[in-house]
Amino acid sequence: MTLRIASFLACLVGGAVLGALLAGSAGAAIGVATGALLWFVTDAVNAARVLRWLRAGELRDAPRLGGLWGEVVDRVRRAVLVRERRLQDAEGRLEDFLEAIRASPNGVVLLDPQGRIEWVNDTAAAHFGLDPARDLQQHVVHLLRDPEFAAFYGGRSYAQDVVIPAPGSTSSRPRKLSLRLHPYGEGRLLLLSRDVTAVEQAEIMRRDFVANVSHEIRTPLTVLSGFVETLQTLDLARDERTRYLQMMGQQTQRMQTLVNDLLTLSRLEGSPLPGAGEWTALGSLVAQCEQEARALAASLGKSLDLRFAPAALLAVGGMAGELQSAFSNLVSNAVRYTPAGGRVDVAAEQTAEGRLEFSVRDTGPGIAAEHLPRLTERFYRVDRSRSRETGGTGLGLAIVKHVVQRHGGELKIASTPGTGSTFTIVLPAARVRPLGVTPDESAARPATESAAG
Protein backbone atom coordinates (compact mmCIF):
# COMPACT_ATOMS: atom_id res chain seq x y z
CA MET A 1 0.00 0.00 0.00
CA THR A 2 2.93 2.37 0.81
CA LEU A 3 4.39 1.74 -2.61
CA ARG A 4 1.00 2.45 -4.20
CA ILE A 5 0.68 5.82 -2.39
CA ALA A 6 4.28 6.66 -3.24
CA SER A 7 3.69 5.95 -6.94
CA PHE A 8 0.55 8.15 -6.89
CA LEU A 9 2.45 11.03 -5.23
CA ALA A 10 5.33 10.58 -7.65
CA CYS A 11 2.91 11.00 -10.59
CA LEU A 12 1.51 14.19 -9.02
CA VAL A 13 4.89 15.68 -8.24
CA GLY A 14 6.27 14.72 -11.64
CA GLY A 15 3.29 16.29 -13.42
CA ALA A 16 3.55 19.48 -11.32
CA VAL A 17 7.28 19.88 -11.99
CA LEU A 18 6.90 19.21 -15.71
CA GLY A 19 3.92 21.63 -15.96
CA ALA A 20 5.75 24.36 -14.01
CA LEU A 21 8.74 24.07 -16.30
CA LEU A 22 6.56 24.35 -19.36
CA ALA A 23 3.88 26.91 -18.29
CA GLY A 24 4.62 28.28 -14.86
CA SER A 25 2.16 28.05 -11.97
CA ALA A 26 -0.85 27.44 -14.21
CA GLY A 27 1.05 24.63 -15.93
CA ALA A 28 1.85 23.10 -12.50
CA ALA A 29 -1.87 22.73 -11.70
CA ILE A 30 -2.50 21.15 -15.11
CA GLY A 31 0.51 18.85 -14.59
CA VAL A 32 -0.88 17.65 -11.23
CA ALA A 33 -4.25 16.87 -12.82
CA THR A 34 -2.57 15.13 -15.76
CA GLY A 35 -0.32 13.06 -13.44
CA ALA A 36 -3.33 11.98 -11.38
CA LEU A 37 -5.27 11.01 -14.51
CA LEU A 38 -2.32 9.07 -15.89
CA TRP A 39 -1.94 7.17 -12.63
CA PHE A 40 -5.65 6.26 -12.51
CA VAL A 41 -5.69 5.17 -16.18
CA THR A 42 -2.61 3.02 -15.65
CA ASP A 43 -4.12 1.51 -12.50
CA ALA A 44 -7.42 0.79 -14.29
CA VAL A 45 -5.58 -0.91 -17.18
CA ASN A 46 -3.64 -3.07 -14.73
CA ALA A 47 -6.88 -3.93 -12.89
CA ALA A 48 -8.53 -4.84 -16.20
CA ARG A 49 -5.58 -7.11 -17.12
CA VAL A 50 -5.79 -8.85 -13.75
CA LEU A 51 -9.57 -9.28 -14.08
CA ARG A 52 -9.22 -10.66 -17.61
CA TRP A 53 -6.56 -13.11 -16.39
CA LEU A 54 -8.78 -14.27 -13.52
CA ARG A 55 -11.72 -14.78 -15.86
CA ALA A 56 -9.59 -16.79 -18.31
CA GLY A 57 -8.41 -19.12 -15.51
CA GLU A 58 -5.00 -19.78 -17.16
CA LEU A 59 -2.29 -19.59 -14.52
CA ARG A 60 0.51 -19.80 -17.09
CA ASP A 61 -0.69 -16.57 -18.80
CA ALA A 62 -0.37 -14.36 -15.70
CA PRO A 63 0.30 -10.70 -16.61
CA ARG A 64 3.67 -9.29 -15.62
CA LEU A 65 2.87 -6.33 -13.36
CA GLY A 66 4.62 -4.43 -10.67
CA GLY A 67 3.35 -2.79 -7.58
CA LEU A 68 0.18 -3.77 -5.79
CA TRP A 69 -1.41 -5.50 -8.79
CA GLY A 70 1.74 -7.53 -9.38
CA GLU A 71 1.64 -8.70 -5.78
CA VAL A 72 -2.06 -9.52 -6.12
CA VAL A 73 -1.37 -11.58 -9.23
CA ASP A 74 1.51 -13.40 -7.56
CA ARG A 75 -0.46 -14.20 -4.41
CA VAL A 76 -3.50 -15.36 -6.38
CA ARG A 77 -1.32 -17.55 -8.62
CA ARG A 78 0.41 -19.15 -5.66
CA ALA A 79 -2.90 -19.74 -3.83
CA VAL A 80 -4.42 -21.35 -6.93
CA LEU A 81 -1.32 -23.53 -7.43
CA VAL A 82 -1.51 -24.72 -3.83
CA ARG A 83 -5.22 -25.46 -4.21
CA GLU A 84 -4.68 -27.33 -7.49
CA ARG A 85 -1.86 -29.35 -5.97
CA ARG A 86 -4.09 -30.32 -3.08
CA LEU A 87 -6.89 -31.15 -5.50
CA GLN A 88 -4.58 -33.33 -7.58
CA ASP A 89 -3.40 -35.14 -4.45
CA ALA A 90 -7.00 -35.69 -3.37
CA GLU A 91 -7.94 -36.93 -6.83
CA GLY A 92 -4.92 -39.26 -6.84
CA ARG A 93 -5.88 -40.70 -3.46
CA LEU A 94 -9.48 -41.07 -4.64
CA GLU A 95 -8.32 -42.84 -7.81
CA ASP A 96 -6.10 -45.17 -5.76
CA PHE A 97 -9.04 -45.88 -3.46
CA LEU A 98 -11.33 -46.59 -6.42
CA GLU A 99 -8.66 -48.78 -8.02
CA ALA A 100 -8.42 -50.78 -4.79
CA ILE A 101 -12.21 -51.20 -4.74
CA ARG A 102 -12.18 -52.19 -8.42
CA ALA A 103 -9.61 -54.89 -7.64
CA SER A 104 -11.50 -56.11 -4.59
CA PRO A 105 -12.53 -59.80 -4.66
CA ASN A 106 -15.86 -58.63 -3.24
CA GLY A 107 -18.48 -56.85 -5.29
CA VAL A 108 -19.09 -53.19 -4.41
CA VAL A 109 -22.14 -51.18 -5.50
CA LEU A 110 -22.83 -47.58 -4.44
CA LEU A 111 -26.54 -46.68 -4.19
CA ASP A 112 -28.06 -43.21 -3.92
CA PRO A 113 -30.80 -42.45 -1.37
CA GLN A 114 -33.45 -43.66 -3.86
CA GLY A 115 -31.68 -47.02 -4.35
CA ARG A 116 -30.32 -46.19 -7.81
CA ILE A 117 -26.90 -47.50 -8.80
CA GLU A 118 -24.25 -44.74 -8.81
CA TRP A 119 -21.12 -46.87 -9.22
CA VAL A 120 -20.25 -50.56 -9.53
CA ASN A 121 -16.94 -52.42 -9.61
CA ASP A 122 -16.08 -55.23 -12.02
CA THR A 123 -16.59 -57.98 -9.43
CA ALA A 124 -20.14 -56.84 -8.67
CA ALA A 125 -20.85 -56.50 -12.38
CA ALA A 126 -19.80 -60.12 -12.83
CA HIS A 127 -21.78 -61.26 -9.76
CA PHE A 128 -25.02 -59.59 -10.85
CA GLY A 129 -24.60 -59.62 -14.63
CA LEU A 130 -24.59 -55.81 -14.77
CA ASP A 131 -23.29 -53.48 -17.45
CA PRO A 132 -21.49 -50.63 -15.59
CA ALA A 133 -22.32 -48.18 -18.40
CA ARG A 134 -25.87 -49.23 -19.21
CA ASP A 135 -27.21 -49.97 -15.73
CA LEU A 136 -26.11 -46.83 -13.89
CA GLN A 137 -29.05 -44.94 -12.36
CA GLN A 138 -31.19 -48.10 -12.51
CA HIS A 139 -32.92 -49.15 -9.30
CA VAL A 140 -31.10 -52.07 -7.73
CA VAL A 141 -34.31 -53.98 -6.90
CA HIS A 142 -35.36 -53.83 -10.55
CA LEU A 143 -32.08 -55.45 -11.59
CA LEU A 144 -31.82 -57.98 -8.76
CA ARG A 145 -35.25 -59.52 -8.99
CA ASP A 146 -35.01 -61.82 -6.00
CA PRO A 147 -37.81 -61.84 -3.37
CA GLU A 148 -35.37 -62.36 -0.49
CA PHE A 149 -33.22 -59.42 -1.55
CA ALA A 150 -36.27 -57.22 -2.12
CA ALA A 151 -37.49 -58.00 1.40
CA PHE A 152 -33.98 -57.45 2.78
CA TYR A 153 -33.66 -54.08 1.03
CA GLY A 154 -37.16 -52.96 1.98
CA GLY A 155 -36.82 -54.03 5.62
CA ARG A 156 -34.04 -51.49 6.24
CA SER A 157 -32.50 -53.85 8.81
CA TYR A 158 -28.99 -54.66 7.65
CA ALA A 159 -27.50 -56.46 10.65
CA GLN A 160 -27.49 -59.82 8.84
CA ASP A 161 -26.33 -60.94 5.41
CA VAL A 162 -28.75 -62.43 2.92
CA VAL A 163 -27.76 -65.32 0.64
CA ILE A 164 -29.45 -65.49 -2.77
CA PRO A 165 -28.92 -67.49 -5.97
CA ALA A 166 -26.66 -65.57 -8.35
CA PRO A 167 -28.26 -64.38 -11.60
CA GLY A 168 -27.75 -67.12 -14.17
CA SER A 169 -27.47 -69.84 -11.53
CA THR A 170 -28.84 -73.24 -12.59
CA SER A 171 -29.53 -76.51 -10.80
CA SER A 172 -26.60 -78.15 -12.58
CA ARG A 173 -24.23 -75.25 -11.84
CA PRO A 174 -25.55 -73.44 -8.76
CA ARG A 175 -23.98 -70.18 -7.62
CA LYS A 176 -24.70 -68.39 -4.35
CA LEU A 177 -24.08 -64.76 -3.38
CA SER A 178 -23.92 -63.33 0.12
CA LEU A 179 -25.13 -59.71 0.21
CA ARG A 180 -24.83 -57.04 2.87
CA LEU A 181 -25.97 -53.40 2.90
CA HIS A 182 -24.14 -50.66 4.84
CA PRO A 183 -25.69 -47.18 5.23
CA TYR A 184 -23.33 -44.23 4.68
CA GLY A 185 -23.52 -40.53 3.87
CA GLU A 186 -26.95 -38.94 3.68
CA GLY A 187 -29.24 -41.89 2.98
CA ARG A 188 -26.84 -43.69 0.66
CA LEU A 189 -26.13 -47.43 0.81
CA LEU A 190 -23.06 -49.54 0.16
CA LEU A 191 -23.96 -52.97 -1.25
CA LEU A 192 -21.27 -55.64 -0.80
CA SER A 193 -21.49 -59.02 -2.55
CA ARG A 194 -19.42 -62.15 -2.00
CA ASP A 195 -19.48 -65.39 -3.96
CA VAL A 196 -20.08 -68.09 -1.34
CA THR A 197 -20.66 -70.95 -3.78
CA ALA A 198 -17.52 -72.77 -2.63
CA VAL A 199 -18.37 -72.16 1.03
CA GLU A 200 -21.92 -73.45 0.56
CA GLN A 201 -20.67 -76.49 -1.35
CA ALA A 202 -18.05 -77.17 1.31
CA GLU A 203 -20.73 -77.04 4.00
CA ILE A 204 -22.94 -79.40 1.99
CA MET A 205 -19.99 -81.73 1.47
CA ARG A 206 -19.18 -81.60 5.19
CA ARG A 207 -22.74 -82.52 6.12
CA ASP A 208 -22.84 -85.24 3.48
CA PHE A 209 -19.47 -86.54 4.63
CA VAL A 210 -20.54 -86.83 8.26
CA ALA A 211 -23.83 -88.44 7.23
CA ASN A 212 -22.11 -90.87 4.87
CA VAL A 213 -19.43 -91.88 7.36
CA SER A 214 -22.05 -92.40 10.03
CA HIS A 215 -24.15 -94.49 7.66
CA GLU A 216 -21.23 -96.53 6.35
CA ILE A 217 -20.05 -97.39 9.86
CA ARG A 218 -23.51 -97.91 11.31
CA THR A 219 -24.44 -100.60 8.76
CA PRO A 220 -21.65 -103.08 9.62
CA LEU A 221 -21.97 -102.19 13.31
CA THR A 222 -25.65 -103.13 13.18
CA VAL A 223 -24.77 -106.45 11.56
CA LEU A 224 -22.01 -107.11 14.10
CA SER A 225 -24.30 -106.20 17.00
CA GLY A 226 -26.98 -108.57 15.72
CA PHE A 227 -24.53 -111.45 15.34
CA VAL A 228 -22.98 -110.83 18.76
CA GLU A 229 -26.41 -110.83 20.38
CA THR A 230 -27.31 -114.03 18.52
CA LEU A 231 -24.11 -115.77 19.62
CA GLN A 232 -24.68 -114.63 23.20
CA THR A 233 -28.30 -115.75 23.47
CA LEU A 234 -28.59 -118.85 21.24
CA ASP A 235 -26.86 -122.19 21.45
CA LEU A 236 -25.86 -122.56 17.79
CA ALA A 237 -24.40 -125.49 16.01
CA ARG A 238 -20.70 -125.38 15.19
CA ASP A 239 -21.18 -124.75 11.47
CA GLU A 240 -23.65 -121.90 12.14
CA ARG A 241 -21.28 -120.28 14.63
CA THR A 242 -18.50 -120.57 12.07
CA ARG A 243 -20.67 -118.96 9.38
CA TYR A 244 -21.72 -116.14 11.71
CA LEU A 245 -18.13 -115.48 12.77
CA GLN A 246 -17.08 -115.41 9.12
CA MET A 247 -19.73 -112.77 8.33
CA MET A 248 -18.67 -110.80 11.41
CA GLY A 249 -15.10 -110.89 10.14
CA GLN A 250 -16.26 -109.57 6.76
CA GLN A 251 -18.08 -106.66 8.39
CA THR A 252 -15.07 -105.94 10.59
CA GLN A 253 -12.86 -105.92 7.51
CA ARG A 254 -15.30 -103.55 5.82
CA MET A 255 -15.06 -101.11 8.71
CA GLN A 256 -11.29 -101.48 8.81
CA THR A 257 -11.07 -100.66 5.09
CA LEU A 258 -13.29 -97.61 5.55
CA VAL A 259 -11.21 -96.30 8.46
CA ASN A 260 -7.98 -96.89 6.53
CA ASP A 261 -9.33 -94.99 3.52
CA LEU A 262 -10.43 -92.09 5.74
CA LEU A 263 -6.99 -91.97 7.37
CA THR A 264 -5.38 -92.04 3.92
CA LEU A 265 -7.45 -89.08 2.77
CA SER A 266 -6.66 -87.17 5.95
CA ARG A 267 -2.94 -87.84 5.53
CA LEU A 268 -3.00 -86.78 1.88
CA GLU A 269 -4.74 -83.49 2.69
CA GLY A 270 -2.48 -82.64 5.63
CA SER A 271 0.98 -83.63 4.38
CA PRO A 272 3.39 -81.57 2.23
CA LEU A 273 3.52 -82.09 -1.50
CA PRO A 274 5.80 -84.98 -2.57
CA GLY A 275 9.12 -84.16 -4.16
CA ALA A 276 10.77 -86.02 -7.01
CA GLY A 277 13.68 -87.32 -4.95
CA GLU A 278 12.20 -90.79 -4.56
CA TRP A 279 12.14 -92.85 -7.76
CA THR A 280 10.33 -96.17 -8.13
CA ALA A 281 10.44 -98.63 -11.00
CA LEU A 282 7.18 -98.50 -12.92
CA GLY A 283 7.32 -102.25 -13.43
CA SER A 284 7.20 -102.93 -9.69
CA LEU A 285 4.12 -100.72 -9.27
CA VAL A 286 2.30 -102.47 -12.13
CA ALA A 287 3.34 -105.92 -10.87
CA GLN A 288 1.91 -105.11 -7.44
CA CYS A 289 -1.36 -104.00 -9.09
CA GLU A 290 -1.55 -107.25 -11.03
CA GLN A 291 -0.96 -109.37 -7.94
CA GLU A 292 -3.66 -107.53 -5.98
CA ALA A 293 -6.12 -107.63 -8.90
CA ARG A 294 -5.83 -111.40 -9.35
CA ALA A 295 -6.18 -111.97 -5.61
CA LEU A 296 -9.26 -109.72 -5.47
CA ALA A 297 -10.89 -111.46 -8.45
CA ALA A 298 -10.30 -114.84 -6.77
CA SER A 299 -11.78 -113.64 -3.46
CA LEU A 300 -14.87 -112.37 -5.30
CA GLY A 301 -15.19 -115.64 -7.19
CA LYS A 302 -14.99 -113.88 -10.55
CA SER A 303 -13.54 -115.26 -13.74
CA LEU A 304 -12.07 -112.22 -15.51
CA ASP A 305 -9.70 -111.75 -18.41
CA LEU A 306 -7.04 -109.60 -16.72
CA ARG A 307 -4.49 -108.27 -19.20
CA PHE A 308 -1.49 -106.29 -17.97
CA ALA A 309 0.70 -104.92 -20.75
CA PRO A 310 4.46 -105.03 -20.05
CA ALA A 311 5.41 -101.84 -18.26
CA ALA A 312 7.87 -99.51 -19.96
CA LEU A 313 11.40 -99.41 -18.50
CA LEU A 314 10.73 -96.21 -16.62
CA ALA A 315 11.05 -94.84 -13.11
CA VAL A 316 8.40 -92.63 -11.54
CA GLY A 317 9.26 -89.80 -9.12
CA GLY A 318 7.13 -89.21 -6.06
CA MET A 319 5.71 -91.03 -3.06
CA ALA A 320 5.75 -94.69 -4.01
CA GLY A 321 3.05 -95.59 -1.48
CA GLU A 322 0.70 -92.91 -2.77
CA LEU A 323 1.26 -93.84 -6.42
CA GLN A 324 0.74 -97.53 -5.64
CA SER A 325 -2.50 -96.66 -3.83
CA ALA A 326 -3.78 -94.63 -6.79
CA PHE A 327 -2.88 -97.28 -9.39
CA SER A 328 -4.30 -100.10 -7.26
CA ASN A 329 -7.56 -98.25 -6.62
CA LEU A 330 -8.24 -97.91 -10.35
CA VAL A 331 -7.45 -101.56 -11.00
CA SER A 332 -9.47 -102.86 -8.03
CA ASN A 333 -12.46 -100.72 -9.07
CA ALA A 334 -12.34 -102.28 -12.53
CA VAL A 335 -12.20 -105.78 -11.02
CA ARG A 336 -15.09 -105.08 -8.65
CA TYR A 337 -17.44 -103.57 -11.22
CA THR A 338 -16.68 -105.75 -14.24
CA PRO A 339 -19.04 -108.74 -14.37
CA ALA A 340 -17.73 -112.30 -14.57
CA GLY A 341 -16.45 -113.14 -18.02
CA GLY A 342 -15.47 -109.52 -18.65
CA ARG A 343 -12.09 -108.07 -19.48
CA VAL A 344 -9.76 -105.57 -17.82
CA ASP A 345 -6.79 -104.06 -19.69
CA VAL A 346 -4.04 -102.24 -17.81
CA ALA A 347 -1.26 -100.33 -19.57
CA ALA A 348 1.47 -97.90 -18.53
CA GLU A 349 3.06 -95.98 -21.41
CA GLN A 350 5.11 -92.85 -22.01
CA THR A 351 3.68 -90.29 -24.41
CA ALA A 352 5.62 -88.41 -27.08
CA GLU A 353 5.72 -85.40 -24.71
CA GLY A 354 7.42 -87.52 -22.05
CA ARG A 355 4.41 -87.87 -19.75
CA LEU A 356 3.30 -91.15 -18.21
CA GLU A 357 -0.20 -92.52 -18.87
CA PHE A 358 -1.43 -95.32 -16.61
CA SER A 359 -4.76 -96.49 -18.02
CA VAL A 360 -7.30 -99.07 -16.86
CA ARG A 361 -9.97 -100.12 -19.37
CA ASP A 362 -12.83 -102.45 -18.45
CA THR A 363 -15.91 -103.96 -20.05
CA GLY A 364 -18.18 -103.20 -17.12
CA PRO A 365 -21.64 -101.62 -17.19
CA GLY A 366 -20.27 -98.14 -17.91
CA ILE A 367 -21.26 -94.84 -16.35
CA ALA A 368 -23.75 -92.25 -17.62
CA ALA A 369 -22.30 -88.86 -18.56
CA GLU A 370 -24.13 -86.95 -15.81
CA HIS A 371 -22.30 -88.95 -13.13
CA LEU A 372 -18.77 -88.46 -14.46
CA PRO A 373 -18.06 -84.99 -12.94
CA ARG A 374 -18.96 -86.26 -9.45
CA LEU A 375 -17.20 -89.62 -9.43
CA THR A 376 -14.24 -88.32 -7.41
CA GLU A 377 -16.45 -86.93 -4.64
CA ARG A 378 -16.22 -88.77 -1.35
CA PHE A 379 -18.84 -91.51 -1.00
CA TYR A 380 -20.43 -90.64 -4.33
CA ARG A 381 -21.86 -93.78 -5.89
CA VAL A 382 -23.65 -94.27 -9.17
CA ASP A 383 -25.44 -97.35 -7.81
CA ARG A 384 -25.29 -97.52 -4.03
CA SER A 385 -26.67 -101.05 -3.76
CA ARG A 386 -24.19 -102.39 -6.32
CA SER A 387 -21.32 -100.66 -4.52
CA ARG A 388 -22.19 -102.44 -1.30
CA GLU A 389 -22.28 -105.76 -3.13
CA THR A 390 -18.77 -105.20 -4.46
CA GLY A 391 -17.42 -104.07 -1.10
CA GLY A 392 -16.34 -100.57 -2.11
CA THR A 393 -16.12 -97.72 0.40
CA GLY A 394 -16.85 -94.91 -2.05
CA LEU A 395 -13.50 -93.27 -1.25
CA GLY A 396 -11.22 -94.92 -3.80
CA LEU A 397 -11.53 -92.35 -6.58
CA ALA A 398 -11.31 -89.49 -4.07
CA ILE A 399 -7.95 -90.92 -2.96
CA VAL A 400 -6.85 -91.28 -6.60
CA LYS A 401 -7.74 -87.65 -7.33
CA HIS A 402 -5.80 -86.37 -4.32
CA VAL A 403 -2.72 -88.45 -5.12
CA VAL A 404 -2.72 -87.38 -8.78
CA GLN A 405 -3.14 -83.69 -7.92
CA ARG A 406 -0.36 -83.89 -5.33
CA HIS A 407 1.96 -85.24 -8.03
CA GLY A 408 0.98 -82.51 -10.52
CA GLY A 409 -0.97 -84.91 -12.72
CA GLU A 410 -4.46 -85.34 -14.09
CA LEU A 411 -7.17 -87.99 -13.83
CA LYS A 412 -9.16 -88.60 -17.01
CA ILE A 413 -12.42 -90.58 -17.08
CA ALA A 414 -14.20 -91.80 -20.19
CA SER A 415 -17.20 -94.12 -20.08
CA THR A 416 -20.06 -95.35 -22.24
CA PRO A 417 -23.05 -97.11 -20.63
CA GLY A 418 -23.19 -100.74 -21.71
CA THR A 419 -19.66 -100.70 -23.11
CA GLY A 420 -17.26 -100.00 -20.27
CA SER A 421 -15.01 -97.32 -18.77
CA THR A 422 -11.44 -96.09 -19.08
CA PHE A 423 -9.64 -94.39 -16.21
CA THR A 424 -6.30 -92.77 -16.99
CA ILE A 425 -3.72 -91.21 -14.68
CA VAL A 426 -1.43 -88.75 -16.48
CA LEU A 427 1.77 -87.76 -14.67
CA PRO A 428 3.99 -84.88 -15.90
CA ALA A 429 7.25 -85.52 -17.74
CA ALA A 430 9.22 -84.12 -14.78
CA ARG A 431 8.20 -87.19 -12.78
CA VAL A 432 9.24 -89.74 -15.42
CA ARG A 433 12.72 -90.89 -16.45
CA PRO A 434 14.29 -93.97 -18.02
CA LEU A 435 15.02 -96.73 -15.55
CA GLY A 436 18.63 -96.69 -14.34
CA VAL A 437 19.24 -93.04 -15.32
CA THR A 438 20.04 -90.49 -12.61
CA PRO A 439 17.77 -87.46 -12.23
CA ASP A 440 20.52 -85.11 -13.50
CA GLU A 441 21.04 -87.20 -16.63
CA SER A 442 17.29 -87.40 -17.20
CA ALA A 443 16.91 -83.61 -16.90
CA ALA A 444 19.65 -83.12 -19.47
CA ARG A 445 17.86 -85.28 -22.05
CA PRO A 446 15.31 -83.78 -24.48
CA ALA A 447 11.73 -84.96 -24.02
CA THR A 448 11.73 -86.68 -27.42
CA GLU A 449 14.88 -88.67 -26.58
CA SER A 450 13.39 -89.64 -23.21
CA ALA A 451 10.18 -90.77 -24.89
CA ALA A 452 12.10 -92.81 -27.40
CA GLY A 453 13.97 -94.55 -24.55
Q: In the chain, how long is the greatest CA-to-CA distance?
A: 159
What kind of architecture, by CATH, is found in domain 279-452?
2-Layer Sandwich (3.30)
* Backbone angles phi and psi of 277, in degrees to 5: -75, -25
**pLDDT at 191 exceeding the cut of 80:** yes
**pLDDT at 401 exceeding the cut of 60:** yes
115-137: pLDDT as tens digits = 999 988 888 888 888 888 888 88
The edge-to-edge listing of strands for the beta sheet with 314-317 is 279-281, 314-317, 432-434
Within the chain, all domains assigned CATH 3.30.565.10 are found at 279-452
Which of 285, 269, 284 lies closest to 324, judged by CA? 285
More confident residue, 12 or 81: 81
What kind of architecture, by CATH, is found in domain 202-270?
Orthogonal Bundle (1.10)
**pLDDT at 453 exceeding the cut of 70:** no
Q: Which range has highest mean pLDDT (42-51, 255-264, 441-450)?
A: 255-264
- Please report the pLDDT score of residue 241 as a whole number: 85
**pLDDT at 446 exceeding the cut of 60:** no
236-287: pLDDT as tens digits = 888 888 888 888 887 888 788 788 878 887 777 767 777 767 899 999 999 9
Where is average pLDDT lowest: 212-226, 233-247, 307-321?
212-226
Topology of 105-195 in CATH? Beta-Lactamase (3.30.450)
- Please report the pLDDT score of residue 129 as a whole number: 87
Within the chain, all domains assigned CATH 1.10.287.130 are found at 202-270
**pLDDT at 72 exceeding the cut of 80:** no
Spell out the residues 6+ positions from residue 257 whose beta carbon is closer than 8 angstroms to its own.
Answer: 391, 393
Measured in whole angstroms, the distance separating CA 151 from the mean position of its chain's CA atoms is 30
Cα distance between residue 109 and residue 121, in whole Å: 7
Q: Residue 244 gets which letter from DSSP?
A: H
What average pLDDT score do residues 29-48 get?
74
As a whole number, the mean pLDDT across the chain is 82
Share of residues in the chain with pLDDT > 70 (%): 84
Within the chain, all domains assigned CATH 3.30.450.20 are found at 105-195
What average pLDDT score do residues 313-335 get?
92
pLDDT tier, 346 (very low <50, low <70, confident <90, very high otherwise): very high
Phi-psi group of 186: left, alpha or beta (phi > 0 → left; psi -120 to 50 → alpha; rest → beta): beta
More confident residue, 58 or 403: 403
- Please report the pLDDT score of residue 385 as a whole number: 52
**pLDDT at 367 exceeding the cut of 80:** yes
- Please report the pLDDT score of residue 339 as a whole number: 92
